[in-house]
Chains A and B, each alone.
Chain A
Amino acid sequence: MIEDELLKWKFKSGGKDALQRIYEKYRDYLLTLAMALVNDAGLAEDIVHDVFVTFAKSIGTFKLRGGLKSYLTTCTLNRCRDQIRARKRQPLSLDEDMPMQSDFDPPDKRMITDEQSRLVAGAMAQLPYEQREVIALHLNAAMKLRCIAGLQNVSVSTIKGRYRYGLQKLRSALNGRL
């Protein structure tokens, strides 16, 4: 936390080193989050790219009172939502299932992962987007359910329900495959 505060200040002061440190600190985290949400290697790559490029450009106007990680998480989340909306090319229906089959190429030169992560990401892609988002934000981004409720603009009990149902589906989807 203290490091992030310092990084924010240094970044705002124009420090290239600070930007590099922020990039190195959060690149894998953001990629994992994006993969958990979109399960598409190319899309996840674009999203992380956009987040960092936009962040780097924000140097002159950067005013962040909250945490750096939360900020980057929200940026990634918003882009994932945008991409999913754009991909469907129809009015947003976040409850529609994403295809189970990922077009993510097995560990290639651009991403490093393992078989289990690929399976989990694939199983998460079967969940309705809103359940997937709750699980990814809570488990991968360590965000509290109350905060997620704010992001999805629903009650905490709804979030708890989405979380519980999502986990049940994941459990059955992965049963016997791990």
Chain B
Amino acid sequence: MKPSDDIENIVKKMSFKVGPELDKDLWAETLKARNAFHKTILSPGQNNIGRTIMKSPITKLAAAAVICIMCLTGLFFWKSTGSGIALADVLARIEQVTAYSYQVRSTITTPQTKTDLKNTVLVSQEHGIKYASRSVEPNNNEIDGADAYLLPKQNSIIFVVHEKKMYVRVKFDDDKLAYYKEQYNDPRIIVKQILNCDHSSLGQSVIDGTTVEGFQTTDSAYGGGFMGAADFEGKPKKVDVKLWVDVNTFLPVRVEEDVVTKDGMRMHEISYDFRWNVLMNADDFKPIKPEGYLSFGEVTVPAFKEENAVLGLRLFAGLAGEYPDNLDAVSLNKKTRKLIGFDIDTLEDLADDEKARLNSELMSIMGPAFFYEKLVEDDMDPAYYGKTVTPKDADKVLLRWKQEDGSYRVIFGDLRAETVTAEELAELEKP
């Protein structure tokens, strides 16, 4: 047979592949178009809680901010999870709901401690999110823990910490609050996370008289719930998440999460008593600051930018004479508070402007932690060498990350920044 007799196969085999140079250009343009769109739709002032964009980097950033508050207040303020199911349809269904509430029971166990929390969550697309947490003592007594109010119209979150009789307002820049609202313990995040993971069906069952269908994931890539804290220190050691959905309404009925972090902390959480499309008004989201509570002042989380990372490193080095060992938000927060003399116990004695100064200083130094977390979340191949690089090591790589064009941005020991190729970076990082 002559080749031309098999003409159909010959045409089928025709192949033109995108070469490396073209590939680079095409992808860069495509990404640019996508990023331009993201930038536009996430511009400041757009505070629609119902926005459906999920940008996981901010989960961790928001979590980092909250962890800062936890560190500041000394309170282990805990969050709950949402819910999910079959699964794209459930997601679509949830997105139509304008207001809902649910209960959460959380148990956090470490080798040394066990914490039980009972939480109530109200979510309104119009008014915001209210999260009330109560700790449950071994004798089942419940004690007010902390309330959090995410207020879209004020671009801020207010934490009222009953245990410490204090409150603090956290302000977010630009579009971060919009992301934060999206991520704030939203059941949609759980559904999206399960969708992103290997998951299986648990079949049908009945919960409180409601026929439900279950879904389960044990994929360690799961990062939903717990406000991203489950993998805050890296991928969890164990994940078991079950989601039960009403077969008639396609809305979550119950979510069970059991996560063991790589450090051995176990977080078990059950979300239940979901009430969908309930009536809520502005008063439900009005922060209640009981009389006599101490104001912790206002905290502004710095933008997640290179310059803020460099500023934070410079400030830290100025105080400590060295760079932080690592950029973990919790440990950096503790070290910084020690360095700047930010003692929670004496806060009451400080004037408001002094509180503001300390808050500002603390958050400025936290800049690199927030920035690094964003790099990790954006999968930008970051590396930080604060353990071995000091301010005297002018030409050593202190922090680096990959940019969209494949080059690397490098912050050196003397805090100057340069863009280098991957090959040049390999040379720079040679021991």
Contact = CB atoms under 8 A, between A and B. Distances in A.
B10 A120 contact: yes
B294 interface: no
Interface centre among B23, B25, B34, B37, by most chain A C-beta atoms within 10 angstroms, is B34
A53 interface: yes
Contact of B53 (A14, A27, A136, A139): A14
A145 interface: no
Interface string B34-77: 10111001000000000011110000000000000000000000
Contact of B17 (A10, A14, A113, A171): A113
A112 B54 contact: no
Interface in A94-146: 108-114, 116-117, 120-121, 124, 135-136, 139-140
Contact of A52 (B8, B20, B21, B30): B30
Interface string B389-405: 00000000000000000
A60 B4 contact: no
A119 to B, nearest CB: 9
A112 B17 contact: yes
Interface residues of B, number: 41
A72 B426 CA distance: 39
B183 to A, nearest CB: 12
Chain B interface SS verdict (over half): helix
B195 A6 contact: yes
B135 to A, nearest CB: 35
Contacts of B4: 170-172, 174-178
Given A19-B34, A35-B16, A174-B3, 6 more contacts: A19-B30, A31-B17, A52-B30, A112-B17, A117-B14, A170-B4
Contacts of B7: 167, 170-171, 174
B279 interface: no
A114 B15 contact: yes
Contacts of A52: 26, 29-30, 33
16 contacts: A14-B53, A19-B31, A28-B15, A45-B22, A45-B26, A53-B29, A53-B33, A54-B33, A111-B17, A112-B18, A113-B15, A116-B13, A117-B13, A140-B14, A167-B7, A170-B11
A59 B16 contact: no
A176 B2 CA distance: 8
Contact of B16 (A53, A57, A117, A177): A117
B19 A49 contact: no
B318 to A, nearest CB: 36
A121 B167 CA distance: 71
Interface string A22-63: 010001100110011000000011001100111111011000
